[in-house]
Amino acid sequence: MIDVNFQLKGSAITVVVLAIIRYEPTSLVAELKEKIVQAPQFFNNSPVLINLDRLENPETLKKPADLLTICRELDLQPLGFSGVPEVLLAAVNKTGLAVLPTPSERALKLPKQEAAPQAVETVVERVVETVVETVIEERLVQRQSKVITRPVRSGQQIYAEGADLIVLAQVSEGAEVLADGHIHIYGTLRGRALAGVKGDETARIFCQQMEAELVSVAGNFVLQDSLPKELLKKPVQVSLKGEKVIVEALISS
């Protein structure tokens, strides 16, 4: 019997990143509605992270709470902000939502400790000796793979952390597969597939039959309505070029 009141666990969830480039409420609402209509089931009550890193006109976002209202009226659920400019930080904090660090901000800056002159000299001598006497052998570290042999059913989520994901069956509608690396699906992909979820822009998705609700590489995604019609139900590969998701035929020899 567990005698504690709570447990802290890590979890992988799909979050839509709403990167605001220009804040103009009227046109923003219109563009969001147009995008939501393409996949209403995907966006319904979807958690949203609002990114302001590329915001060109921060002076117009005087009340970030108004942006949250826009999202909620469109059935999007804001969970926090990232990339907040210094000029907007106080106003964003007043919303009560979390301000999440960007990947570059997560790097820890350890304070430098000043050593005594004698200690510094000793360390330098030892480093020189180590460089001379040690032979460094470079080795290629192979990324691990997570293999799933059964169908991934609706409502299920499979995440390959720090690895490629190989699915030897179908991914059903409403199911979700995620990987830090590549995703290989040797059946029909009807659900959602997200590769390079921690920002690996070289990650790819391969599947034998493309019918996906959504495919994503390093946070850039394409919905089913935007997939090339001629490639539906065909073997394809999905990659990233710049910020554009490329879906092309998978040519086999």
- The pLDDT tens digits of the residues spanning 206-219 come to 999 999 999 999 88
Q: What percent of the chain has pLDDT over 70?
A: 80
Residues contacting residue 7 through CB under 8 Å, at least 6 positions apart? none
Which of 165-169, 236-240, 249-253 bottoms out in mean pLDDT, i.e. has the lowest?
Answer: 249-253
- The reported pLDDT for the residue numbered 111 is 54
- Written as one letter, the residue type at 247 is V
pLDDT mean over 17-21 = 90
Q: Which tokens in the block code for residue 118?
A: 């004698």
- Written as one letter, the residue type at 20 is I
Does this model's pTM top 0.85?
no
Q: What is the pLDDT of residues 69-98, one digit of tens each?
A: 999 999 999 999 999 999 999 999 999 999
- The reported pLDDT for the residue numbered 138 is 52
Alpha carbons 204 and 182: distance in angstroms, whole number: 5
Backbone angles phi, psi at 19, to 5 degrees: -90, 110
Q: What is the pLDDT of residues 31-68, one digit of tens each?
A: 999 888 877 767 888 899 999 999 999 999 989 999 99
CB 81 within 8 A of CB 52: yes
Which of 37-46, 130-139, 164-173 bottoms out in mean pLDDT, i.e. has the lowest?
Answer: 130-139
- The reported pLDDT for the residue numbered 171 is 96
Alpha carbons 240 and 221: distance in angstroms, whole number: 10
**Domains within the chain, CATH numbers bracketed:** 16-103 (3.30.70.260), 144-249 (2.160.20.70)
- The reported pLDDT for the residue numbered 139 is 53
Q: What percent of the chain has pLDDT over 90?
A: 59
Alpha carbons 109 and 201: distance in angstroms, whole number: 26
Q: DSSP 3-state assignment of 134?
A: coil
Taking the CA atoms of the chain, what radius of gyration do you get in angstroms?
Answer: 23
Q: Is the pLDDT of residue 11 over 70?
A: no
Residue 162 Rama label (left phi>0; alpha psi -120 to 50; beta):
left
Among candidate residues 203, 214, 213, 209, the one with its CA nearest the CA of residue 169:
209
Q: Is the pLDDT of residue 187 over 80?
A: yes
